[in-house]
Amino acid sequence: MADNTDKNMKAPVLDVQDLGIDFGGLTAVNDLNMQVYDGEIVGLIGPNGAGKTTVFNLLTKVYKPTRGKIYFDGKDTAGKSVVDINKAGIARTFQNIRLFGNLTVLDNVKTGFHNVIPYSPITAILRLPKYFASEKEINEKAMDLLKIMELDKYADYKASNLPYGAQRRLEIARALATNPKLLLLDEPAAGMNPQETAELMDMIRFVRDHFKIAVLLIEHDMKLVMGICERITVLNYGMMLAQGTPEEIQSNPEVIKAYLGD
């Protein structure tokens, strides 16, 4: 925490304060404090069951927090719905891939533009000029995103027919379509081979620089986490165990203990 005094000069895009959630008697996340700044890639790691995905679900309002506050872009997000939080600028991918399986790859990305380039159903039914202008823009932007994620050759494939790694990249493309300020990636490299993972790292860096967004990612592949994250937060049993640069985390005795046992 001491290392980002320079970053404290500007407000964080995401500011989590004393966040906690209980499921019945079970405390899944407790006393979590973390900040993500503009243009940063932050890692969220921890052993299985540490509550990482629960944090993502709290940030995107799938769960309502029992305690604590989440500020996004300086505003309290209490009372917002999943849809609202996406409109506000948080987009996510899922650990267990959730694509629109019966839609084409291109249409999957196009759904992401729902609130970015809106027009009414009446415009669609009557095929007013605005329909053609909007669809043209959506088409071009969606194809650009597919190119970035190297999926353009699959554009008219059914999403469920894609290879596994490509499905993960498609989820990222769809999330980027919603024009987020903060991108949450839940195990983006799961099931990828080392070469695919290396390509993915380049893509995440490119996406961050190109769209000027912050990235918060959950990942078990330490090569990826240590390779691209500027800061890392470690969770264990729902509590924050450590926070710092990759070097600090790697040499932290608490973290080593949590991962390897006594």
Binding site for other proteins (CB under 8 A): 60, 62, 81-83, 86-87, 91-92, 94, 98-104, 106-107, 110-115, 117-119, 121, 124-127, 131, 134-135, 138-139, 143, 152-153, 155-158, 161, 174-175, 177-178
C-beta of 75: minimal distance to other proteins in Å? 17
Closer to other proteins by Cβ: residue 18 or 137 = 137
For the CB of residue 245, give the shortest distance to other proteins in the complex, in Å: 30
* Residue 180 or 244 with smaller CB distance to other proteins: 180
The least distance separating other proteins from the CB of residue 261, rounded to whole angstroms, comes to: 35
For residue 93, what are the contacts with CB-CB under 8 A and spacing of at least 6? Answer: 168, 171, 172, 175, 184, 185, 186, 188
Residue 126 Cβ vs other proteins, minimum distance, rounded to whole Å: 8
Three-state secondary structure readout of 233-248: EEEECCEEEEEECHHH
Nearer Cβ to other proteins (99/225): 99
Cβ(100)–Cβ(163) below 8 Å: no
Cβ proximity to other proteins: between 59 and 189 the closer is 59
